[in-house]
Amino acid sequence: MRTGARIQCDHHAKAGSLPWGESPWRGQGCDRIPPNIPLNDVYRRLLTVALDGALRHVADLPDQPVTVPTSDTMLRQLLGGPAPSVPTEPEAVLDTLLRAAELGLGPTGSSRYFGYVVGGVFPVALAADWLTSAWDQVNATYDMSPLAAVLEDICRGWLVEMFGLPVGTSASFTSSCTLANLICLATARAALLDRVGWDVMTRGLNGAPPITVLVNEHVHASVPRSLRLLGLGGDIRPLVTDGEGRVKLGPLEKEISRTNGGPVIACGQVGELHTGAVDPLRPLCEQIHAVGGWAHFDAAFGLWAATTELRHGLLDGLDLADSWATDAHKWLNVPYESGMALVADADAHRRAMAIHPDYLNQDAGRVRHPIQWGVAFSQRARVIPLWATLTQLGKTGIAELVGRHCALARRLAACLRREPGVVILNDVTLNQVLVRFEHPGGDDDRHTMAVTQAFQRAGVAWASGSGWGGRAVLRFSFVNWTTTDEDVDRAAASLLECHRALRSAPLPGVC
């Protein structure tokens, strides 16, 4: 009879053959604590399976091909089927998951994965992340997790200090840089309209004075997405940029003068996705502030460069902005999802996110209630792994990490540049390298795409194809803490092999 504690588990037969032996759930309901077994033993069994799986993953990673599995048929067979109608022994669940991992994990953790801007995970961050889950901390009000609320306060102060931002800058710890952009721009919207006597929180946007938004034409898609979600999609004007993707000051001045004193937001970038370029921060902020506007920077990965001497060169003027969106999951190598919205005017930030439902205990006083600074109610206490990583590395450790990745980027560029028919398109000032491959036949776009495909299939390393200035490119991003000089050299050798083979063959061809 399949009721109550006597329900049988689906996978008894399978679970019986598992390497960890007889399951305590055997003959019991899989949906409750097995009788006569201490609860911590129950956890120990499953967490040990997880730990073993994780350690195996880490050990195997250096020798795994760096490729993306192409077929999902076996994954679907293994994991899918009809919705589970009865419980399954948890060991069998994990066993299935571990087998699925062999079929379907992306290679993003590899030290030779240079695709998108992804990054790895510091062991201390992973360990702290596991504890965050074990503690099941939710982070809305102080009383839900004093630990998380206090860590948010502490990390806010540390980040502000490390990045050299204005002392009172507020922070929201979000699930992504996209959400951080949204929070910063929601604050900009409320603050600018407040200055012209319009309370957007009570009146909305119907009939509100229009806001002009000037955006770097290469700005990450998460910025226009945030603007549209905020009802600010009506007047987005792209700002002309130079070859690196940096806003040109002349056209910026012209665009600003066209706003005729109305509310205006300018969105720049610290770390362009292709070139790593940083906008001219100081003049951009000064120009926009001269007309009472708001300067916002998407600094998803680039903000970490502010911990290095680049703070006084490339990033000069960073502290003049009104808001910054960034994340810890890319360049700081903290597990996903860990973003941060930083706002110079803490009061404006707080007002834009204000929320006071009766059931949430938000005592006045000096304690922090994370929900007052962000969007979601139930939030993972993602500040815990962030704090652990900031503490282990310290400012000098982060600066060393950033400096090392910039050096790796220069190493790859120097190695590729020597090869006939290989062009480095960007000025390698940060951690991104843009490569283009030329073919004697003249079709460089097709050759670049063919080299990209062959390189990705070869499995030595992985980088993503993209377009820049209307041309096909291959882009490399250095953000994984485990990447070494040798990784770069192996990637370069594989890439050049593909390029040479394809270059001496008529188009199209494969490596």
Site residues, ligand PLP (CB under 6 A): 117, 176-178, 220, 222, 271, 273, 298, 300-301, 327, 339
Helix axes 444-458, 485-503, angle to 10 degrees: 130
As measured in angstroms, the least distance from the Cβ of 409 to ligand PLP is 15
Tell me the C-alpha distance between 309 and 311, whole Å: 5
Q: Least distance to ligand PLP from the beta carbon of 273, Å? A: 5
**Least gap, CB of 99 to ligand PLP (angstroms):** 29
Compare residues 341 and 492 and give the one whose CB is closer to ligand PLP: 341
Output the DSSP codes for 13-37.
HHHHTSTT-S-TTTTS-TTSPPTTS
Nearer to ligand PLP, 177 or 256 (CB): 177
Residue 484 is encoded by which pair of tokens?
A: 């070494």
Say whether 166 sits in a helix, a strand or coil: coil
User: Which amino acid is located at 456 in the chain?
Assistant: Q
Task: Using the minimum distance from each CB to ligand PLP, give the nearer residue, 177 or 193.
Answer: 177
In the complex, least distance from residue 244 CB atom to ligand PLP, rounded to whole angstroms: 14
Cα Rg of the chain (Å, integer): 26
Smaller CB separation from ligand PLP, 93 or 278: 278
Sequence-distant (6+) residues with CB within 8 A of 128 are 384, 385, 387, 388, 389
Residue type, 194: D
Closest CB 487 distance from ligand PLP, rounded Å? 21
Minimum CB distance to ligand PLP, residue 482 (Å): 20
For CA atoms 131, 134, 137, 138, give the dihedral sign. positive
CB of 478 to ligand PLP, least distance (A): 13
Q: Closer to ligand PLP by CB, 125 or 193: give it.
A: 125
State the minimum distance, in angstroms, from the CB of residue 180 to ligand PLP: 8
Which one, of 485, 487, 424, 493, lies nearest residue 455 by Cα?
493
The residue among 144 and 223 lying less far from ligand PLP, judged by its C-beta, is: 223
Identify which of residues 437 and 481 has a Cβ nearer to ligand PLP in the complex: 481
Q: Find the helix packing angle between 383-417 and 123-135, rounded to 10°.
A: 150
In angstroms, the Cα distances linking 245 to 117, 277, 278, 473 are: 17, 6, 8, 15
Specify the residue, 112 or 475, whose C-beta has the smaller distance to ligand PLP. Answer: 475
* Residue 374 DSSP SS3: coil
Give the nearer residue to ligand PLP in terms of CB position, either 214 or 300.
Answer: 300
Of the candidates 188, 223, 194, which has an alpha carbon nearest to the alpha carbon of residue 209?
194
Query: Strand pairing of 264-269 and 236-239?
Result: unpaired
User: Residue 183: which region, alpha, beta or left (left: phi > 0; alpha: psi -120 to 50)?
Assistant: alpha
Q: How are beta strands 212-216 and 236-239 bridged, if at all?
A: parallel
- The HSE-up count of residue 146 (CA atoms within 13 Å, CB side) is 4
Nearer to ligand PLP by C-beta: 338 or 494? 338
| Pairing verdict, β 432-437 and 422-424 | antiparallel
Dihedral class, residue 242 (left if φ above 0, else alpha if ψ from -120 to 50, else beta): beta
Nearer to ligand PLP, 281 or 451 (CB): 281
CA-to-CA distance for 382 and 390, rounded, in angstroms? 13
By the 10 Å C-beta count (0-12 exposed, 13-18 middle, 19+ buried), 285 is classed as: buried
Shortest reach from residue 118's CB to ligand PLP, in Å = 9
Q: How far is the CB of 271 from ligand PLP (least distance, A)?
A: 6
Shortest Å distance, C-beta 298 to ligand PLP:
5
